[in-house]
Amino acid sequence: MTRGSQPPTQSALTPLAHGALNHCFGCGLDNPTGLRLKFFVDPDKNVVCHFRLARRFAGPPGHAHGGIIATLLDEAMSKSNRARGILAMTRNLEVQYLRPVPLGQQLTLTARHLDTHGRANHTEAQLADATGQILATAKAVFVTVTPDILTKARSNN
**Residue among 87, 63, 62, 80 nearest 7 (CA):** 80
Reply yes or no on whether the pLDDT at 107 is more than 90: yes
| Average pLDDT, rounded, for the chain | 88
* Alpha helices by DSSP H, 12-146: 66-82
**From CA 2, how far away is CA 137, in angstroms rounded?**
11
Give the helix/strand (H/E) hosting 130.
none
> Residue 16 has what pLDDT?
81
Reply yes or no on whether the pLDDT at 99 is more than 70: yes
Q: Please classify residue 105 by burial: count the beta carbons closer than 10 Å to its beta carbon, then call 0-12 exposed, 13-18 middle and 19+ buried.
A: exposed
CA distances from 75 to 22, 82, 123, 126, 152 (A): 14, 11, 11, 11, 22
Instruction: Provide the whole-model pTM.
Output: 0.86
Q: Report pLDDT digits (tens) over 55-97.
A: 999 999 999 999 999 999 999 999 999 999 999 999 999 999 9
Average pLDDT over residues 9-17: 73
> Residue 29 has what pLDDT?
75
> What domains lie within the chain, and their CATH numbers?
11-155 (3.10.129.10)
Q: Report pLDDT digits (tens) over 25-63.
A: 667 677 787 777 899 999 999 999 999 999 999 999 999
